[in-house]
Amino acid sequence: MQKNKSTISGKDLNLNEQISGNQLRHSILELIQKDFPTFNQDSFLSKEELKKYRQQNITNYLAQDLDEVTELENRVIKSITDNTILSENSEDDEIQKLKFGQRIADKVATFGGSWTFIILFGVFIFIWISINIYWLSNKGFDPYPFILLNLILSCIAAMQAPVIMMSQNRQEEKDRERGKKDYLINLKSELEIRTLHEKIDHLIYHQQQHLMEIQKVQVEMMNDIINQLKKAK
């Protein structure tokens, strides 16, 4: 296999980066021929040039289905052309990006909504009441009706409510981000499947062309054999 020139840029191509026109899918070939009418199945282009037209081809796909290609769709297109994974960022990376206050809010919300907190707080209230009523004979630092205890409970509730709301707001943000990732992954899967179908159609078409050429050769050989038999008689 020898070096060839790119019909698009006119540059000499190395063996490992040149791609012939007969390897291209029909939609990409048509897209290239719009810019370069002389490009045909015997022409060559580089992998970088093919990457550009693949990206343009996918953009055209999306433009047909959507009114406008947004930043999310552009991320999908770039991921397909660069062969990268959309779900690279794990939850551990997201946790490392959190601020100190956000981490504290998550921990407080997690602990405040657990059975551990309910049991410990129930034990604390029981001990508080028992000490003041039975041990100190209701003459201790917080006799019945436990005004100090009510004040402490009110303060805890006042502090805990906004912290839990902060954590819930962050949870909503995480849900929105997960929804975006799901949309991106589903869109990429749809485009990859559509591209795969087109590749299969391309392979089947070329295989049929090859089989037809073989059949023509076989028919010609059969005709030659028949003619030779007739002459022999």
C-alpha of 125 from chain center = 50
Residues ≥6 apart with Cβ < 8 Å to 106: 98, 167, 170
Q: How far apart are CA 225 and CA 222, in angstroms?
A: 5
Could you tell me which residues are beta bridge partners of residue 4? 13
Check whether the bond before 143 is cis (ω within 30° of 0).
Answer: no
Note if the bond before 145 is cis, omega within 30 degrees: yes
Write the CB contacts of 199 (distance below 8 Å, at least 6 apart in sequence): 25
Tell me the C-alpha to C-alpha distance, in Å, between residue 133 and each of 120, 121, 129: 20, 18, 6
Q: What is the pTM of this model?
A: 0.51
Torsion sign across C-alpha atoms 167, 168, 172, 178: positive
b/e per residue 164-190 (b: at least 16 CB within 10 A)? bebbeeeeeeeeeeeeeeeebeebbee
Tens digit of each residue's pLDDT, the chain (233 residues)? 456 777 777 777 777 777 777 777 777 777 788 888 888 777 878 777 777 777 777 777 666 665 566 676 777 777 777 767 766 554 555 555 677 777 777 787 788 778 898 899 889 989 988 888 877 777 777 788 888 888 988 988 888 788 778 878 877 877 888 888 888 888 888 777 877 776 676 667 667 767 777 777 777 778 777 777 777 76
Measured in degrees and rounded to the nearest 5, phi and psi for residue 20 equal -85, 160
